[in-house]
Structure 1
Amino acid sequence: MKKLIAILTLAAVITSSAAFALDGSTIDNKKVMESFNKEFVGAADVSWYHTADKYVAKFTMKASKVTAHFDREGNLLATSRYITDAELPLNVITRMMKKYPDQKIHSVVEYDAEGNTTYVITLESDTHWTVLKAESNGNLTKLKKLQKA
């Protein structure tokens, strides 16, 4: 779990100003490119970013926006993608509907790292936003509750 949090933190850092955009849909690291091409056949609109020791590819695949994180050796570390509420596990949806019946789903991001899948779900009501972390087994954790202006 600590590693997953570290990877999610890395994702935030990489998308911040510390990341450097690379031109084109390829990079100069052969191992990373081979791994990317093997894992994500059919990826379109690929953009690459990097830090000193990580590479990040942002792309679309079957109409989904996907982000993939690689180390310099070409190992896939984590992925994230926007999904619809229909793609959430049934136990997540049912628990969420029981616990937050007055809120509608605004967005869902699926994170996959080290074989663990988690979801960050943003719910919306008339007065506030609620951000949840959901595990595949249906466990829900409230991350934030924000009042609307």
Structure 2
Amino acid sequence: MKKIFVIAAATFISLASFANVDPITGKVLESFRTEFAEAKNVQWKSLDDAGLFQATFNYRNTELSAFYNAEGDLVATARYISKDNLPIMVAKEISNRYPDHIVRSVIEHISNGSTTYHVTLYGEKSSLIVSASPSGELSVFKKVKNRL
């Protein structure tokens, strides 16, 4: 009886520990928990091609993505923002250069202390993804002709 109890306890402990094993390395997880202690609904993804790990989660009522390298260094964050939160110079330049396009979505991307805005624009003939610096410098990342 005592032997069965020990085996059952050992099995329970190993199952419990396997249930909590995360495919993300200890350094990455430790760094994430330090940086985003209040994170909820965390989902991890390995970006093998880039050698990064992506955590998507809710943090202070905002959905964020954080990107870590294998050493546990936070290399970038990204979040959707409303077009109303674009810097004035970005909004003004988009309006001037693409007056016939509507802003569909905006992703604020921060990496190496630098912020870039990826703005998806929709027009009658084409859709664009434009990258913008906070000062309003624009470059077309991708352009797609709309099907008529």
Bin the TM-score by the shorter chain: 0.7 to 0.9
Q: Distance between the aligned counterparts of 1:103 and 1:134, measured in 2?
A: 16
- Secondary structure in structure 2 of the residue aligned to 1:38: helix
Moved more, 29-38 or 136-145: 29-38
Post-superposition Cα deviations, 1:110-139, rounded to whole Å, max 9, x if no partner, equal 111111111111111222212111011210
Distance 1:96 1:36, change over 3 A: same
Matched, 1:94 2:72: no
Equivalences for 1:1-149 in 2 at 5 Å? Answer: 26=22, 29-50=25-46, 51=48, 53-149=51-147
Structure 1 alignment gaps of length 5 or more = 1-22
* Letter in structure 1 aligned against 2:45: Y
Post-superposition Cα deviations, 1:72-91, rounded to whole Å, max 9, x if no partner, equal 22110111111111221111
* Letter in structure 2 aligned against 1:69: F
Report the structure number with the largest CA radius of gyration: 2
Structure 2 alignment gaps of length 5 or more = 1-18
Q: Could you tell me whether the CA contact under 8 Å between 1:80 and 1:109 is conserved in 2?
A: yes
Q: Could you tell me whether the CA contact under 8 Å between 2:24 and 2:53 is conserved in 1?
A: no
- Secondary structure in structure 1 of the residue aligned to 2:30: helix
After TM superposition, the score normalised by the length of structure 1 is: 0.74
